[in-house]
Every structure is written in structure tokens, then in C-alpha cells.
Amino acid sequence: MTPHLLKLSGIGKQFGGLSALTDVSLHINAGEIYGLIGPNGAGKTTLFNVITGLYQANSGEFRFNGHSYQTPKPHLLAQAGIARTFQNIRLFANLTALENVMIGCHVRTHAGVFGALLRNKATRTEERASMQRARELLRYVGIDKPAQTLAKNLSYGEQRRLEIARALATEPLLLALDEPAAGMNATETERLKVLLQNIRAKGITVMLIEHDVKLIMGLCDRVAVLDYGRKIAEGVPDEVRGNPAVIAAYLGADDE
Amino acid sequence: MINYHKYLNNNRFILFVVLVSVLLLPFATDALLGRGWVRIVDFAMLYIMLALGLNIVVGYAGLLDLGYIAFFAVGAYCYALTGSPHLAAAFPLLFPDGLHLSFWIVLPLAALLAGGFGVLLGFPTLRLRGDYLAIVTLGFGEIIRIFMNNLNAPINLTNGPQGISRIDPITVAGVSLNRTQEIFGIELPSVHLYFYLFLGFAALVVFVSHRLEKSRIGRAWMAIREDEIAASAMGINTRNLKLLAFAMGAMFGGVSGTLFAGFQGFVSPESFSLMESVMVLCMVVLGGMGNIYGVILGGLMLALLPEVLRHSVVPLQQAMFGKTIIDPESLRMLLFGTALIVVMLYRPAGLWPSRVRRRELATDETEQIV
Amino acid sequence: MEIFLQQIINGLVQGSVYALVALGYTMVYGILGLINFAHGEVVMVGAMLALSALTAMTGWGLSPLLALPLSLLLAMAGCMLLGYSIERIAYRPLRHAPRLAPLITAIGVSIVLQNLAMMIWGREYHAFPQLIANQPHHIAGAIINDMQIIIIIMALAIMAGLMVVVHRTRLGRAMRAVAENQHAAQLMGVDVNRVISITFMLGSALAAVAGLMVSANYGLAHYYMGFLLGLKAFTAAVLGGIGNLRGAMLGGLLLGLIESLGAGYIGDLTGGFMGSQYQDVFAFFVLIAVLVFRPSGLLGERLAERA
């Protein structure tokens, strides 16, 4: 049996009187690439935000890496090993690319105020390691611009990749990507696909929301489909593609 | 390679020149402008310390503290109470001569107390939107003044609006700073001695700010300032780090306050009005939020501005209208208010933008040097 | 018992004023998610304008019954213009800037207004002219005078009027739409900038009324009066649930009562250690308590950082 890295059971989320998610159960296996698709307004982003702790579910059980979380806070989940990117890129715009990634190292480093003031050996070593790692990650995701470039001055595709580098710096078990290919052209999307496959090859589990069905189908091991806040299908891409409920959901959405 | 060395030597040379001129500053000021101005320069040093403390809160962590002067007041009253004959009034049996604690004992205690107040204020507000911190600190600045003004009855703790006087001067290694001392044949008046003391403290604050800025903690603060949600998604405990920034800023305020009390020998609630908080904020904003040197520049400019105004606006108006229509004090506040608006609208990075913005302009060169 | 009743009356009068000012904070917050720090100063300017107009008009021999409403209208017009300008100059250009920016310009505007007022009207307290007979009425040992009755009735009438505007008119619907979702409202053809301007003007008009009321009640106006009043009215808005109109009214009245009862009994409660000079600290502790225990306020919804 493959170990479940993430297991959600019966997750429900309401905003005011509106149900955004109803009884969603799913699990993500360690080492796989898991896709989450669905028509607009299906609750993908809400589910994504529940998984990364930005929203707290109103009901259901949340287990990650063998631990159960009652009210998962974003920083605790990052600590536990879930890293994320944002649909509408949220970089630290006025900081440099290097600093952005080094901030990702925060959660795995320890220097406090006294370390900062005394700048003792441990702090210096840690700082050097963070910088080293940040530079490696910048290269790894393919940002060739100088590391001192401000995040806001990078190109769109570079910003997307910088977000991934920053997330990887937290040394995640699960990398959650919110529409990573949004706004990318075909070449950039292809590069992204290779990058994600590389990341998985390093043993990091990947979960992504994506509109680009072709990318999802070509990349994911398993896919879940949401519609109206419920999970209507789950399985390997080919299976899901043929699922009548999924076809209906997508055709229904196209009609609008 | 040669260029690199030249750059370094050049920098060292500049540093040396700056250091020497700062050390000679009280003498030069004394000779050129008179002793009164040395005192003004001393106050400017205090303001620079305050502004650097507030810069940690506003500039690094992006939190707006509108009652910063309250922490200054906490520090000042700490030393005023424990370093003067005043406690004899409240507890004549316990302290017949007042409690004359050494400045150097009170200093860390005052810093801790101010930091404690910072935590008390920050704790309920920092989990909410930043606006709440602004308004709560604004209120706190006013509340603390109400207490200072009224805690003179039934037990005379603060002596009310009259304030506390006859505060012991600061002594360094047994040498009192409020008397002229002779060192190596050079006569150093009290204001000079305090200048060097404040210079030392200011250097310490600069050092601390600098170290924090370039550390894991400083980066986390700036991440929070840039995007709090993204910061927490990166595993930063935003609440604790905001609290840390706020408490550290408060501690700097407390330290400056004890120095103020010792220097001035007298404190009263009047010195801690909202306008003082606004002035310190203005120093940070005008100079350049987040940039140590910008903040120093802002502090220096605004601390000297009232004196400049006093010596220019009044004579100017006298000459033009034969009387003073606008008093320099309200003109100063008017300028501060306008500066806050204009800077935020047209030059949000301040007069001296932080290193990042400059780096932005010179990306390629810096990269080669690194 | 008489003291109790008297404090209730005083509290209601003061609370009506807080409610009017709190409405200004809450309307702007509801629509822009911004605390308009300068609002307290608008109240001050309203009071000063009304007072100046009143003094001038009665000086010309105008009957007080005519001069009072005229000067109120003048003050309202002046404040509406002021509110409009504040939004245009200090907030609108920064609508998409980091959140710190409009907060800083807001405090800048407050300082500018305060010092301009000091230059125009001086540092001294201005006495409110005794215009109407201001008959005291005795109710079970407590006293309420005509002016206080007028204040309470007027405040209630204005609040009722505001509720009608917000819930029954096209403008009100546009305001609620912008508060709910600015972008969507824009797509639906609502002129968002116009709605925001009108909101600032409405809030400022209420501030002018409140300014006149405060100075009439205390018989005084002063260039510094806006600061504490603004702080307290903001507390009232938070107490009721910021962004919520009914909450602002409830919070205002409650805060007035808390303050007045607190000031009346603090001496007894602390064994004479603290007296009524601490009246101004209650609002602050109420604010802290609300933020700790119920940050959404009595009638409000969640207000923690939104995604």
C-alpha cells in the first residue's frame, strides 16, 4: 500500500450561507503528481486554500504526513512540509530574487535576534548555506538574471518560476501549485512541465490546479475533478477523461 | 580587480572623513554657532535613535505605530522616578530621599518595561489588520499622557503636569556628565559629553538595525511588509515576528527615553504629545522607510528644522509684515503633515531610497562586485 | 439613583454624537476598507465653521432660530467639500498602494487640518453662544435641558434618514454594491469613484452635525477637539462592528453610556484613587477589550485579514 501523504475526509467549507465545498474526500500519495481540475467556480481554489491552511474547513478531517490538524495555520503547514504558489503571483516584490528564495529558507533555519546581533559562527554558517541554496534553486528553476534583480523586475514567466523556487526553499514534502501555467505560452508551459517532472523525480510530491487540461493530462498520475464544490471523479487521466459526469460538467460549463 | 580595491579604499576614506567630522561636530558647532546649538545637536542625536527604533517597526515590518513617543515616555518616567528625589513625595517613609538608582541599572529595566508595554499593546492587535495597531497605538499615546497628568493624587507618583525635576545626571565610570570635564587637557563641557554618550548609543542602534536588517529575522520582517499572506505561506509565524518588531522598537524608544530624562534633568507630560510621535514618524517616512541612512538623514533634518524655522521665519515675517503671523511651531507641524502626504504620494521610498531601490538601478555592477 | 439616571442621560447625549461620527468611519471602512484617520478633524472643522457662522450671523442681528439651521447647513457644506477633497487628494491616488501608504497620508491630513485650524481660529477655546433658552427639565431628580433633547432627537432622525438612504434608494444600493465587491459593482455599471466620493461627503456632513452638537452640548469648541472625539468614535464603530451601520449607532450609544457611567462611578469603584479625570481612558480600554474578545464587534462579521 502506498502511504498517503495527504488525506482529506469529508471536508466542508461554507462562506456565509454558501457552501463552497461539500464532503470532499481525497488523498494524495507520496511521490505522485496530483491534478485538481473543474469548471470555473467549482471550488478548486477554495480546496487549495484549505489544503494550504489559508482557509480553515468547517468540517472534516485533515491529515498530513501522519498527523491530524484541527485548525491548520499556513505557517504550521509550511513547517510540516506543504509549500505553495499563488494563482496571482504573490512575490515579495521589492526584495531581490535571492532574498525571495532565502525567505523560503526561513522555516528550516533557526537564527534568532541574538544570532542576528552576534552573528556567531552558527549563524554565519546557516546564512551562507541559505544563500548557497537560494542560488542553486534560482539556477534550478532557470532564472538566469542576476540574483540581485528585484522580483518585480523579472518577466512574468520568471516570476512564476521564482515562486516555485521560493516554495522549494521551504524543503516541502508536498508542493502545491495554483495554476502554475496561467498566462504562459506554449514554450514556457513545456519548460514548466519538465521542471515539475524534475521536481517529482527528486521525491517531492506535487499537487496542482490547472486550467490547461492538456498539461494536466500529460503530467499527472491521478486527477480529481470538482464541480459545485463536490468531487465528481477521481482516477488516472484516461479514466477521468471518459467519465460521463466529467464530460457533463465541462459541457455544462461551456454552455454558459 | 584594481577597480574593486579602489572602490574599497575610497569607501574607507569616506568613512574616515565622516567619523572625524562627527567626532569634531560639537567643537565645530560650538565655535561656529554657539553652545546652545550643541544642545540642539544632542537632541537631534536622541531623535535619530528614536527614528531608527521606529524604523524597525514601520520600515522593516511595515507596521504603523502612531504612539511611538509613549515608549519614550515610559523610559523617561522610569528614570525620572527612580533617579530623582521625587519618590520621597509618594513614599516618604520608604524613600525619604527618593530612590537614586544608577542610570545604568535603570536603563535595561526601562528597556524591558517599554518592550513589555509593546507586547501588551501588540498582542491583541497584531493578529488583526495593521490599521488596528495604528489606532491602538494612537490611543495609547494619549492614555499614557492622561495617566502622567493625573497620577499625582491621591499618591503623588508623577507630579502631574508640573513634571518631575532634579533627575540625577548620567554618570559614566563615576564621571558626571553634567559638569565640564577635562580629558587630555581638552575641556569638554557637559553638552559635549552628552553628545559623545548619545553618539555611542546611536552607533549601537545603527549597528543593531544593520545586523537585524541583514539577517533571517530582518528578511522575515520585510516579507511580512511586502505580503503578509505569502509570508505566512512560507512558514513565517507572522504574529510572533510582528510582535518582536514592535517590542524591539518599543525598547529602543524606552532606551532613548531614559537618556532624555538624564540629559534634560526634567520630564513632564508635555514632552510626549502626539505631535512628537508624528514628528518621529515623519523622520522615518521622509528619510526613507527601511533605509538606515535615510532615516538618519530624516532625523537630522527634522530635528534641526524647528531651530532653523525659529531663526528664519520669525525675522522674515517681522521684516515683511512687522509682526509674527504664523508662529514657527504651527508652521513646523503644518510642514510635517504636508510632508507625510506629499512623500507618500510622490516619493513613497523617501528622500534616500533604501539599498534595494538603488540596487535596482545598478543591478549589473553590484552583481559583479558580489 | 439620581446620579445613575443623570449619567444615563449624559451618556445618551454623548453617545448620539459618537454614533454620528462613528457612522462616518464605518461607511468609509465598509466601502474602502480604510480607516479615515482624518475624520475626527472633519468634526472639528464642522464645529468651528458652525460656530464662526453662528457668531457672525447673530452679530448681524439674525434671529437665532434662523441662524442655527443656516450655520449648520453652511458647516455641512464646508465639511462635504473637505471630505471630498481629502478623498481626492490623499486617498484616491493610493487606492492600490500598499496599505501603509493611505494610513500615513491620513495622519498627515489630520495634522494639516489641526494646524490650519489653529492658525485660523487660534489656540483658545471658543464659547458657544447661548442662543436658545435651554430650559432644564427635571426627571426623577435628574436634569435634561432643551439642547440635549434636541441633540438626541436630531441624531435619531439623521440615523433613520441614513438608513432610508442606504436601504431604499438607488444611491444606497450602489453604495452597498461597492462595499460588497468593488470590481463587480463597476462591471454592473456603478460609477465606483462617484459612490466613494459621495460616501465621504455623506460621512462628512454627519461629522459637521456632530461637531455642532458637541460644541453646543459642552458650550465649547477648540482646534484640538477632533482628535479624542475621533478616537472614541472609532472605538464606537469597532465596538458595534466596523463596516456595519447599525453597529456604529449601537456602539456609539453604548460607548457614551459606558463612559458616562464609568466616569460617574470610577471614584467609588477605586476607593477614590481615580476620579472623573480618567473619563477619557474608558474608550481605550473598551477598544482593547473588543479587539481581544470580539474583534468583529457586537454586530459585525469577521474582520481578520482577508485572503
* B101 and B222 fall within a common domain: yes
Identify whether residues A154 and A219 lie together within a single domain.
no
Q: What is the pLDDT of residue B366?
A: 39
Looking at the structure, tell me whether residues B19 and B147 fall in a common domain.
Answer: no
All cell numbers assigned to B189: 563641557
Is B95 buried (19+), middle (13-18) or exposed (0-12) by CB count in 10 A?
middle
pLDDT at B9: 64
Contact C291 B128 (CB under 8 A): yes
Whether B65 and B206 map to the same domain: the answer is yes
Banded model confidence at residue C181, pLDDT cuts 50, 70, 90: confident
Q: Are residues A76 and A27 in the same domain?
A: yes
What dihedral angle (degrees, nearest 10) is formed by the CA atoms of B33, B37, B42, B45? -70
Which residues of chain B make contact with A167, given a CB cutoff of 8 A?
234
- Mean pLDDT throughout C8-23? 93
Amino acid, single-letter form, for residue A18: L
Burial class (CB in 10 A: 0-12, 13-18, 19+), C307: exposed
Domain span at B26: 1-33
pLDDT for the residue C305 = 34
Whether the per-residue pLDDT at B364 is higher than 50: the answer is no
Q: Most C CBs within 10 Å: which of B273, B309, B344, B347, as the mutation test of the C interface?
A: B344
The Cα-based distances of C78 to B240, C17, C48, C184 in angstroms read: 45, 19, 11, 33
How many structural domains comprise chain A? 2
pLDDT higher than 90, residue C273: no
Q: How confident is the model at residue C1 (pLDDT cuts 50, 70, 90)?
A: low
Give the distance from residue C307's alpha carbon to the nearest chain A alpha carbon, in angstroms: 7
Range of the domain at A35: 1-81+174-184+205-256
Assess contact for B84 and B108: CB atoms under 8 A.
no
Residues of C in contact with A49 (CB under 8 A): 307
The answer to whether position A195 is within a domain reads no
Q: Give the closest-approach CA distance of B190 to chain C in angstroms.
A: 36
Q: Grid coordinates in use for B359?
A: 540596487
Per-residue confidence (pLDDT) for residue B358, from 0 to 100: 52
Q: Does C105 touch chain B (CB under 8 A)?
A: yes
Q: Judge whether B124 and B117 are in contact, CB under 8 Å.
A: no
Block means of pLDDT (10 residues each) for chain A, 256 residues, are 81 85 92 90 90 91 89 91 93 93 94 89 93 95 89 91 95 94 88 93 93 86 91 90 84 52
Q: Within an 8 Å CB–CB cutoff, is residue A195 touching chain C?
A: no
The sign one gets for the Cα dihedral C148, C153, C155, C156 is: positive
Domain-ending residue, one of A171, A194, A224: A171
Give chain A's length. Answer: 256
Q: Which of A82, A113, A130, A152 to mutate to test the interface with B (most CBs of B within 10 A)?
A: A113
Q: Are residues B17 and B42 in the same domain?
A: no
- Residue ending a domain, choose from B274, B309, B333: B274
Are A131 and A178 within one domain? no
> Does any CB of chain B come closer than 8 Å to the CB of residue C31?
no
Spatial distance between the Cα atoms of B213 and B211, rounded to a whole number of angstroms: 5
Look at residues B274, B294, B309 and tell me which one is the last residue of a structural domain.
B274
Are A158 and A179 found together in one domain?
no
User: How many angstroms separate the CA atoms of B181 and B126, rounded?
Assistant: 48
Chain A interface disruption, residue of B213, B221, B226, most A CBs within 10 A:
B226
The answer to whether A102 contacts chain B (CB < 8 Å) is yes
CA-based nearest residue to C237, from C165, C298, C177: C298
Give whole-number Cα distances, B370 to A33, A149, B24, C131, in Å: 38, 13, 35, 76
Instruction: Judge if B25 and B2 occupy the same domain.
Output: yes
Are B199 and B81 part of one and the same domain? yes
Partner C contacted by A49 (CB < 8 A):
yes
Is residue A1 domain-resident?
yes
Q: Is the pLDDT at C279 greater than 90, yes or no?
A: no
The C-alpha cell that represents A128 in the structure block? 551562507
Q: Would you call C140 an interface residue with chain A, using a CB distance cutoff of 8 Å?
A: no
In this structure, what are the phi and psi dihedrals at residue B172, rounded to the nearest 5 degrees?
-120, 115
CA-nearest residue to A53 within chain C is C307
Question: Which pLDDT score is estimated for A129?
Answer: 94
Domains for chain C: give ranges and CATH numbers: 2-124+146-293 (1.10.3470)
Check if the beta carbon of residue C131 is closer than 8 Å to that of residue C58: yes
Residues A67 and A178 occupy one common structural domain: yes
Q: Are A103 and A190 in contact (CB under 8 A)?
A: no
Q: Residues of A with CB below 8 A from B350's CB?
A: none
Which residues of C, range 177-236, sit inside 8 Å of B by Cβ? 227-228, 231, 234-235
Provide the residue count of chain C: 307
Look at residues C21, C18, C30, C10 and name the one whose alpha carbon lies nearest to residue C174: C30
Residue B184 located in a structural domain:
yes
Is it the case that residue C65 has pLDDT exceeding 80?
yes
Distance from CA of B172 to the nearest CA of C (A): 39
The reply to whether A213 and A178 lie within a common domain is: yes
Residue A206 has a CB neighbour count (10 Å cut-off) of 23
pLDDT of residue B323: 73
Residue B2 has pLDDT above 80, yes or no: no
Upper half-sphere CA count for residue A129 (Cβ side, 13 Å): 13
| Mean of pLDDT over chain B | 86
A61 within some domain: yes
Q: What's the DSSP call for residue A26?
A: E
The 10 Å CB-count burial string (b at 16+, else e) for C128-164 is bbeeeeeeeeeeeebebbebbebbbebbeebbeebee
Is A194 inside any structural domain?
no
Residues of chain C positioned with their CB less than 8 A from the CB of B326 = 119
Residue B151 confidence (pLDDT): 86
pLDDT at A252: 65
Tell me the pLDDT tens digit for each residue of C95-138.
Answer: 888 888 898 999 999 999 999 999 899 888 988 887 777 788 88
Q: In this structure, how many other beta carbons lie within 10 angstroms of the beta carbon of residue C20?
A: 31
The DSSP 8-state label assigned to residue A18 in this structure reads E
- Within 8 A of A91 by CB-CB distance, chain B residues are 226-227, 230
Domain assignment of residue B155, yes or no: yes
How many distinct structural domains can be found in chain B? 2
Q: What is the mean pLDDT of residues C167-181?
A: 90
- Residue A183, all three cell numbers: 498566462
As a whole number of angstroms, the distance between CA C282 and CA C263 comes to 8
Is there a single domain that holds both residue A5 and residue A61? yes
CB B212 within 8 A of CB A123: no
> What is the predicted pLDDT for the residue at B363?
42
Does A135 fall in a domain? yes
Residue A185 · residue A207 · CB < 8 Å: no
Contacts of A54 in chain C (CB under 8 A): 307
Residues 6+ apart with CB under 8 A from B282: B298, B302, B336, B339, B340
- Comparing alpha-carbon positions, the chain C residue that sits nearest to A93 is C98
pLDDT confidence tier of residue B76, bands split at 50, 70 and 90: very high
Q: What is the pLDDT of residue A256?
A: 39
Residue A230 has which C-alpha cell?
A: 463536490
- Here the cell at position A122 is 552558527
Q: Do A113 and B244 lie within an 8 Å CB cutoff?
A: yes
Q: Radius of gyration (Cα) for chain B, nearest Å? A: 22
The distance of A157 to chain C (nearest Cα, Å) reads 23
Q: Report the distance separating Cα A184 and Cα A215, nearest Å.
A: 12
**pLDDT band, very low/low/confident/very high, at B356 (cuts 50, 70, 90):** low
Residue B202 is assigned to a structural domain of this protein: yes
Same domain for B27 and B154? no
Which of B82-91, B143-152, B205-214, B317-326 shows the lowest mean pLDDT across its residues?
A: B317-326
In a domain, B46, yes or no: yes
Q: Say yes or no: A74 and A180 in one domain.
A: yes
Minimal-distance CA residue of chain B relative to C119: B326
B213 and B234, same domain (yes or no): yes
The answer to whether A227 and A42 have CB atoms below 8 angstroms apart is yes
Q: Quick check: is A101 in a domain?
A: yes
In a domain, B204, yes or no: yes
* Contact status of A54 with chain C (Cβ, < 8 Å): yes
Which of A171, A195, A221 marks a domain boundary? A171
- Decide if C284 and B142 are in contact by the 8 Å CB cutoff: yes
In a domain, B297, yes or no: no
Does residue B255 contact residue B75 with C-beta atoms inside 8 Å? yes
Cβ pair B162, B270 in contact under 8 A: no
H/E stretch holding B239 reads helix B238-264
The number of beta carbons lying within 10 Å of the beta carbon of residue A256 is: 7
Q: How far apart are CA B7 and CA B15, in angstroms?
A: 12
Q: Tell whether A199 is covered by a domain.
A: no
A125 touches B at CB < 8 Å: no
- Shared domain for A221 and A163, answered yes or no, is no
Tell me, yes or no, whether A179 and A163 share the same domain: no
Cis check: omega of the bond before A72, within 30 degrees of 0? no
In a domain, B351, yes or no: no
Look at residues A192, A179, A3 and name the one whose alpha carbon lies nearest to residue A90. A179
CATH number where A17 lies? 3.40.50.300
Is the pLDDT at B357 greater than 60? The verdict is no
Beta pairing class for A230-235 and C136-139: unpaired
Q: Is A171 exposed, middle or buried (0-12, 13-18, 19+ CB in 10 A)?
A: middle
Q: CB neighbours (10 Å) of residue A100? A: 29
- Separation between Cα atoms, residue B224 and residue B241, nearest integer Å: 9
A200 lies in some domain: no
C-alpha span between C281 and A62 (Å, rounded) = 45
Sequence-distant (≥ 6) Cβ neighbours of residue C158 within 8 angstroms: C20, C206, C209
Closest C-alpha among A183, A175, A187 to residue A212: A183
By CB atoms closer than 10 A (0-12, 13-18, 19+), residue C84 is: middle
Find the distance separating the first CA and the last CA of chain B, reported in whole Å. Answer: 12
Are A138 and A151 within one domain?
Answer: yes
Residues B249 and B182 in one domain: yes
The residue of chain A with its CA nearest to that of B359 is A148
Q: How far is CA C70 from CA B181, C56, C57, C153, C217, in A?
A: 69, 11, 9, 19, 18
Å from A83 to nearest chain B CA? 7
Place of cell 524613600: B95
Q: Which residues of C touch B136 (CB under 8 A)?
A: 287-288, 291
A58 plus A178 within the same structural domain = yes
pLDDT tens digit sequence for B199-242? 999 999 999 999 999 999 999 999 999 999 999 999 999 999 99
Asked whether residue B359 is domain-assigned, the answer is no
8-state DSSP, C141: T
Buried/exposed code over B134-160 (b: 16+ C-beta within 10 A; e: otherwise): bbbbbbbbbbbbbbbbbbbeeebbbbb
3-state DSSP call for residue B130? helix
